Structure 1
């Protein structure tokens, strides 16, 4: 198990800003830098029950898992005047804001119900 965790740590050692900002690409003569929200996590554990021995040795169990998420936020490019501007991905922005808007709506509803009583 320790070897597997060491291998994962080595693999993801350099994950950071390089994953959030992609390499520059040229589209129709304009240089764009893609931007994304990148998150991931891993976990693992094990249990050895030394009290119950079987024919092959003590009972033990181990497991692990992981997952990740990438949300394309938009691109950095140049405006007509030459200034660097961020152009958001509106579909991803709406998808990311939907849970926030729902949570805010439930909170406001709860506060209003509490104030009515």
Structure 2
């Protein structure tokens, strides 16, 4: 009987930047190196009667790519991801600041 936790661990090795963007690419002397934020979780178990099961999930956000041209290296952000992350952050920061200001006024 295979150990489900070990099998899930082996499969999780393929998650990350490669699952979001793929491998780095060389195009006309320019190297593109993808950057992403990813996280995942997995679990497995077995009961007394020998039934077993497991599962997991993950999430990845493409942040952008490093672009290397000769000796020049620069980061190009993914603007769609930046906006998707910035909107909730600005909302939470604004709500927090309004509560702090409201508490200080009392």
Per the TM superposition, whether the score is higher than 0.5 is yes
Q: Distance in 2 between matches of 1:42 and 1:105?
A: 34
**Could you say which residue in structure 2 is the equivalent of 1:98?**
87
Deviation at 1:41, TM superposition (A): 0.9
Which ranges in structure 1 are unaligned for 5 or more consecutive residues? 49-57
Which runs of 5 or more structure 2 residues have no equivalent in the other structure? none
Q: Does residue 115 of the first structure (1) align with residue 104 of the second (2)? A: yes
Q: 2:32, 2:67 → 1: CA distance? A: 5
The alignment of Structure 1 onto Structure 2 pairs a total of residues equal to 105
In terms of fraction of residues, the more strand-rich structure is 1
For normalisation by structure 2, the TM-score amounts to 0.71
Cα deviation digits, residues 27-67 of structure 1 (max 9, x gap): 4x23211111111112355777xxxxxxxxx8xx9765321
1:52-109: CA deviations, max 9, x gaps?
xxxxxx8xx9765321111111111136x84111111111111122222111111101
Q: Go from structure 1 to structure 2 and tell me whether the alpha carbon gap of 1:46 and 1:73 turns closer, same or farther (over 3 Å shift).
A: same
TM-score by length of 1: 0.66
Point out which structure has higher relative CO (alpha carbons under 8 A, 6+ apart).
2
Equivalent positions of 1:21-36 (< 5 A) are 22-27=22-27, 29=28, 30-36=30-36
* Match of residue 55 from structure 1: none
Name which one, 1 or 2, has greater alpha-carbon Rg. 1
**Alpha-carbon distance in structure 2 between the residues aligned to 1:21 and 1:2:** 31
